[in-house]
Amino acid sequence: MAVGTADPRAAIEPVGMPPVVKPPVGNPTPRAFAPRRWRRSGTATLGIVVAVIVAVLVLPPVWTLLQTSLVPEEMAASSGGITLENYALLLRSRDLTGLLLNSLVFSLVAMVVSLILGGVLAWLVERTDAPFRSLAYVTAIISLATPFILYVTAWIYLLGRAGPLNDIYRQLTGTMGSPFNINSLPGMILVEAFLWAPLVFLLMSATFRAANAEMEEAARIAGASVFESVRFISLKLARPAILALAMFVFILNLEAFEVPALIGIPGRVEVLTTEIFRSVKELPPRVGYASAFSVVMLLVISVLLYFYGRISRQAERYASITGKGYRPRPLRLGRGRWWAGGIIITNFVIVLLLPMLAIVWIAIMPFIRPMRWDALHVATFNHFLTVTSSPYYLSLVSNTLIVAAGVATAAMALTLLAGWLAARRRSCGQLIDQLIVVPLIFPGIVLGVALLEIALRSPVPVYGTLWLIGLAFLIHYMPFGMRYSYAGVLQIHPELEQAAHVSGANTRQNITRIVLPLLMPALSSAWLFIFLLASKEMSLPLLLAGASSQTIAVAMFNLWANGQGSDVAALGLLWTASMTIFATIFYIVSRRNSSAAFGS
């Protein structure tokens, strides 16, 4: 370009490079030269739409609970009459102190027992050369895949009057007594601890696996014993993770419903969640009183989650991995490794083998009876035939699959967009990230009360339908999908999306052609996780399901309440086996697709 040209950019145009091709005046601008403000406008519209959808899902339950708790029972259907009567009734209740005390003792002691069982096992598996370490992982994964109601049912039989433990005691002593009373607060604590010990093991395993072994070895060289190195090194480094996990498990225990409902109610041991359930189910239902109870629980859970977040953020202060020279080396126990192996086998027997044997025994017996050899002559598979041939049970399977698959798909589609907007700090991203964690403060039974009230007021007849159950599941599991999507988007470098924008891609093309294929492994894992959780959730659909919209978990609860324990066991075994096979096939296929997508 000649010197003296009127175009000032000619002075910085590189020598020998072809001239920049400019679109002719008056012609439409190519997509590559589209103004950036139009692309920003498209992202802003997407952010507003996603924020509105999330707000519509998560805010009405909070408002409904608060509003219902401030309306007298006799004016619940009207629009006026704001009062604190329900809260006053709650405070005047003579059962309130007992409910709070039972809930705190149940949650706290079960949390401590879970931490001890899962923490000791995690340290043995990750920090020592104990044998049978793989068995611990198999035990944890299968236990967590088992429906909670099935697991609780197994322990009700094992520690019940007709169970093997009480039966062995009677045979040894010649008496008719039953020293083990499962329908008590200690029984509730024991089963709840067994229920969450596998989760504690998996989470603590990650903590101990990442700990630097050099500090423990230095302590041993300095003369410290194994116990001292664990006490002053391992536990000190893992303190934030242990405290955060303790708070998390305490919240799970406080929100628990299966164990208090199946074990506590028959033994007249009430906690907060069962009191809320009974208030809604009794005639006439005390919805305002239940809502006031639910608001109190929301406040308690919110405070606990606040401290959980503060504790979690302190974990980096205890980091022991510095990169160079880091190798996780196991501690050699010598002859003690076989004692450690014995602990792992004992955990397998208690947490998995005994419950599974109990469920199989219940399923093949015509009625509940002690576990003896002479009883095998009446064993039958009629319960399995009933479950597989009855239209009622087939409709339960259909309802559960439709709801679980639909909710998992909808949750991942929504959280894909929400996670991308939040991770990239796009329009409304921070607001979406804050809104989508609101359901974390909702125990399942509390969210069920809120949606029950919304459904009863809605002009659209949704109460007792799969649509309402699906909506409840979507709200409840959105935060889980968000964590998967958000973390997955952070692993994708923004330069890939920037290159696509430079090439003319709009927001929709960017997400569908760049983000979605790269995020598919995380989305697949989250889909499977939500699907499995939704398929065994009981507390939410128990309040919302109608006669034709029951799921597997609700049906199992009703069958057990009606004394049909053998049908519960047969249905639960077939469902657990089916979900295990499905999860295994899904995992293998998704791993192969992921390997093909990433060329590995």
Sequential pLDDT tens for the chain (600 residues): 444 444 433 433 444 444 444 444 444 444 444 444 445 566 788 889 999 999 999 888 888 888 888 877 655 544 456 777 778 877 777 677 888 899 999 999 999 999 999 988 988 888 788 888 889 888 888 887 788 888 899 999 998 888 888 888 888 887 777 788 888 999 999 999 999 998 888 878 877 776 556 666 666 666 666 666 666 666 676 677 788 788 888 888 988 888 998 899 888 898 888 888 888 777 777 777 778 878 887 888 788 777 776 665 655 454 444 444 445 566 777 788 888 899 999 999 999 999 999 999 999 988 888 888 888 888 888 889 888 888 888 898 899 999 999 999 999 999 999 888 888 877 787 888 888 888 877 778 888 888 888 888 888 888 888 999 999 999 999 988 888 888 778 777 777 777 877 777 777 777 788 788 888 888 888 888 889 888 888 888 888 888 888 898 888 888 888 888 888 899 888 888 888 888 788 877 776 766 665 555
Bridge partners of residue 181, in order along the sequence: none
The encoded tokens of residue 581 equal 């096979």
Amino acid at 51: A
Nearest to 46 by CA among 434, 508, 592: 508
- On the CB side of 206, CA atoms within 13 Å amount to 8
On whether the CB atoms of residues 463 and 287 are closer than 8 A, the answer is no
Quote the distance between the C-alpha of residue 502 and its chain's center.
40
Backbone angles phi, psi at 62, to 5 degrees: -65, -45
Please identify which residue in the block is written with the tokens 């596998």: 198
Dihedral, CA of residue 463, residue 464, residue 470 and residue 474, to nearest 10:
50
The pLDDT, as a whole number, for residue 113 is 95
Number of Cβ within 10 Å of residue 212's Cβ equals 18
Q: Is 73 exposed, middle or buried (0-12, 13-18, 19+ CB in 10 A)?
A: middle
* Contact predicate 143/351, CB 8 Å: yes
Per the omega criterion (within 30 degrees of 0), is the bond before 284 cis? Answer: yes
Q: Is 106 within 8 Å of 185 (Cβ atoms)? A: yes
Q: What SS3 state is found at 181?
A: coil
> How many whole angstroms separate alpha carbon 249 and alpha carbon 186?
18
Enumerate the β-bridge partners of residue 545. 464
Residue found by looking up tokens 């020998």 in the block? 16
Extract the tokens encoding 258.
Answer: 């299966």
595 sits in which H/E element = helix 565-598
Residue with the two structure tokens 């050899």: 373
Residues whose CB falls within 8 Å of the CB of residue 221, separated by 6 or more in sequence, listed in order = none
Phi, psi for residue 447 in degrees, rounded to 5: -60, -35
Residue where the block lists tokens 């949390």 = 111
What is the Cβ-side half-sphere exposure of residue 33, based on CA atoms within 13 angstroms? 9
Tokens 């991203």: give the residue. 429
> Tokens in use for 218?
């230095």
Count of all residues that appear for the chain in the document: 600
- What's the confidence (pLDDT) of residue 237? 67
- Quote the DSSP letter at residue 233: I
Closest CA to 476 of 526, 522, 402, 540: 540
Q: Give the position of tokens 């209740």.
A: 93
Whether 319 and 93 have beta carbons less than 8 Å apart is answered as no
pTM: 0.76
- For residue 361, the model assigns a pLDDT of 92
Cross-strand bridge partners of residue 464: 545
